[in-house]
Amino acid sequence: GDSVTQMEGPVTLSEEAFLTINCTYTATGYPSLFWYVQYPGEGLQLLLKATKADDKGSNKGFEATYRKETTSFHLEKGSVQVSDSAVYFCALRRGAAGNKLTFGGGTRVLVKP
């Protein structure tokens, strides 16, 4: 079945540091890939997405590129802020928009001033 694997956290960084969160997936066909973010005490928010190979999703300074050859969708940000402290979830969806999302385990990121 489908699965998503993320690097385990917590990841602790200083402000302005470079952030990478690794995400790899297993799925048949060509799934759509997503990053969601969950800030403390809040629900999940869609951060970015990519729907086909070599697509790059970007939002709020975060980027991730859909790499079919390595089945990966790593999340990066060049200079993190304290406000980026959150849990980040990688997810995939096969097929149409109404199909379910399969989530990775989540990675907690803590940015210190």
Partner 1 sequence: SAVISQKPSRDICQRGTSLTIQCQVDSQVTMMFWYRQQPGQSLTLIATANQGSEATYESGFVIDKFPISRPNLTFSTLTVSNMSPEDSSIYLCSVTGLAGGTHEQYFGPGTRLTVT
Q: How far is the CB of 88 from partner 1 (least distance, A)?
A: 11
Per CB under 8 A, the list member of 44, 63, 67, 85 interacting with partner 1 is 44
Question: CA-to-CA distance for 67 and 55, rounded, in angstroms?
Answer: 8
Q: Which is nearer to partner 1, 69 or 109 (CB)?
A: 109
Which regions of 7-106 does DSSP assign to beta strands (E)? 11-14, 19-21, 23-26, 32-38, 44-50, 56-59, 62-65, 75-77, 86-93, 102-103
Kindly indicate which of the ranges 10-18, 63-71, 78-86, 104-112 contains the residues binding partner 1, using the contact rule CB under 8 A: 104-112
| Residues near partner 1, by CB under 8 A | 34, 36, 42-46, 49, 89, 93, 97-98, 100-101, 103-106
